[in-house]
């Protein structure tokens, strides 16, 4: 046999062998595939964070976030000092709970932060007007209001001006605009601007939580918080300009605070015993300003992070389950989160249960 013929025969045998092998492998793969569950590709996108929207109101552009199903219970979220409307996304570590409770988070951005242009003439009344405009556009008559930290004064002014639009008021480590003014109120604008500029030049430092803070257990939380700080002070090219922040802190110095006597909605105060930013004694001023005694939830395990550590309970309260308490029963990784009536929860805690979701363990 000639060399060319032998080579051709060898190639033919090799191809046949490979083809036979492929046939055998394909058959085995098909049989194996038939034993696997049908693969699933989702029909809708998962959210990457609170989507931003805008409207024109009183010759300015108002920016707001709206997260959740349109038929969910709307909740008005007012974040802390120097946060954007997307700061509500920092609570999405319990998104599943929020969704199961049927809650929809709406947050209206404040003057000079994030997407929103700064106007030194605007104050609390203008923000209240912006919130009303957003609620009107969305067809929302009234809603629970959650205020965190520096969102407290804004919530107070909104509740005083529009008490009929508040179905419940939830004040988490929230600064009350009553009683003694913050210590910095005696500083000049230049002194305050210098201090603020130093604080906000690095969003990682601005949003730093202590090493022992429970929020460090939340995957990606500190990264998400730092990103919002950068959004607040750099998104529109502000390059860390302290002007809007100084303006907001000046508003916090206004006294007397708004009259809340017309508010008929129930109020809840959440305070961390270790909070040095808005200490329990400062938060206690809410009780003097509110027309009815608020439900006060004090937590020994929290500082100025109580709003996150006990966000599960805040969600329950907002959804109308204030008579229930979230606790983790069992031991270690075998724990189970239960939502119990108040007395049953107290008994469980005495037996070793821990407050809130088992995720905190």
* pLDDT digits 0-9 by tens, 331-360: 877 899 999 999 999 999 999 999 999 999
- DSSP codes joined into one string, 309-338: HTHHHHHHHHTT-TTEEEEEESSGGG-EEE
**Relative orientation angle of helices 152-161 and 124-138, to the nearest 10 degrees:** 70
Q: How far apart are CA 302 and CA 272, in angstroms?
A: 5
Record the tokens describing residue 197, joined without a space.
Answer: 């500029």
Record the tokens describing residue 259, joined without a space.
Answer: 């009259």
- Which pLDDT score is estimated for 29? 66
Mean pLDDT of 235-258: 95
pLDDT > 90: percent of the chain: 83
- Which pLDDT score is estimated for 9? 44
Q: How far apart are CA 283 and CA 287, in angstroms?
A: 8
Which residues lie below 8 Å from residue 258, measured CB to CB, with a gap of 6+? 124, 156, 157, 159, 160, 161, 177
Tell me if 336 sits within 8 A of 354, measured CB to CB.
no
- The more confident residue out of 26 and 357 is 357
- Give pLDDT tens digits for 76-128: 999 999 999 999 999 999 999 999 999 999 999 999 999 999 999 999 999 99
What Cα–Cα distance (Å) separates residue 74 from each residue in 77, 106, 135, 162, 213? Answer: 10, 7, 9, 16, 30
pLDDT of 298 higher than 60: yes
Tell me if 128 sits within 8 A of 161, measured CB to CB.
yes
- Which pLDDT score is estimated for 27? 53
Return the SS3 of 22: helix
Q: How far apart are CA 58 and CA 218, in angstroms?
A: 40
Widest CA span in the chain: 109
Task: Could you list the beta-strand ranges (E) of 158-248.
Answer: 166-172
Mean pLDDT of 195-216: 90
Tell me if 327 sits within 8 A of 338, measured CB to CB.
yes
Mean pLDDT of 284-306: 97
pLDDT of 37 higher than 90: no
Positive/negative CA dihedral, 351, 355, 359, 361: negative
Which residues lie below 8 Å from residue 197, measured CB to CB, with a gap of 6+? 240, 242
- Cα–Cα nearest to 78, from 195, 159, 139: 159
Mean pLDDT of 286-314: 97
pLDDT classification of 8: cutoffs 50, 70, 90: very low
Q: Which fold has domain 52-322?
A: Rossmann fold (3.40.50)
- The more confident residue out of 70 and 145 is 145
Is the whole model's pTM more than 0.85, yes or no?
yes
- Give pLDDT tens digits for 122-178: 999 999 999 999 999 999 999 999 999 999 999 999 999 999 999 999 999 999 999
- Which pLDDT score is estimated for 343? 96
Return the SS3 of 302: coil
Q: Which residue has the tokens 């005495």?
A: 350
pLDDT of 19 higher than 50: no
Which residues lie below 8 Å from residue 194, measured CB to CB, with a gap of 6+? none
Tell me if 335 sits within 8 A of 349, measured CB to CB.
no
Mean pLDDT of 315-337: 93
- Sequence spans of domains, the chain: 52-322, 324-361
Mean pLDDT of 303-331: 97
**Relative orientation angle of helices 243-251 and 189-200, to the nearest 10 degrees:** 120
């Amino acid at each position: 046999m000639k060399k060319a013929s032998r080579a051709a025969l060898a190639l033919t045998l090799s191809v046949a062998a490979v083809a036979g092998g492929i046939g055998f492998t394909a058959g085995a793969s098909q049989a194996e595939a038939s034993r696997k569950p049908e693969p699933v590709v989702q029909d809708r996108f998962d959210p990457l964070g609170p989507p931003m929207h805008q409207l024109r109101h009183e010759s300015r552009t108002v920016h707001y976030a709206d997260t959740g199903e349109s038929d969910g219970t709307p909740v008005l979220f007012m974040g802390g000092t120097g946060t954007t409307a997307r700061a509500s996304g920092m609570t999405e570590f319990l998104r599943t709970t929020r969704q199961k409770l049927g809650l929809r988070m709406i947050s209206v951005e404040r003057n000079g932060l994030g997407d929103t242009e700064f106007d030194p003439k605007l104050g609390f009344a203008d923000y209240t007007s912006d919130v009303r405009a957003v609620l009107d556009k969305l067809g929302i008559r009234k809603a629970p209001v959650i205020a965190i930290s520096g969102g407290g004064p804004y919530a107070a002014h909104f509740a005083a001006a529009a008490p009929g639009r508040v179905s419940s008021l939830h004040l988490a480590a929230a600064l009350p605009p009553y009683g003694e003014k913050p210590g910095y109120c005696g500083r000049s604008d230049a002194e305050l601007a210098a201090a603020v500029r130093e604080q906000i030049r690095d969003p990682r430092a601005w949003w730093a939580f202590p090493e022992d803070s429970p929020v460090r257990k939340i995957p990606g939380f500190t990264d998400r918080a730092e990103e919002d700080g950068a959004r607040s002070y750099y998104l529109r090219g502000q390059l860390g300009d302290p002007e809007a922040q100084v303006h907001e802190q000046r508003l916090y110095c206004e006294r007397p605070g708004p009259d809340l006597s017309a508010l008929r909605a129930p109020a809840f105060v959440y305070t961390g015993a270790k909070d040095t930013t808005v200490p329990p004694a400062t938060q206690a001023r809410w009780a003097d300003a509110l027309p009815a005694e608020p439900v006060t939830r004090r937590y020994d395990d929290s500082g100025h992070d109580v709003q996150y550590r006990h966000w599960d309970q805040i969600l329950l309260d907002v959804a109308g389950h204030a008579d229930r308490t979230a606790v983790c029963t069992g031991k270690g990784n075998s724990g189970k989160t239960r939502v119990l009536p108040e007395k049953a929860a107290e008994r469980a805690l005495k037996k070793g249960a821990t407050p809130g979701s088992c995720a905190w363990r």
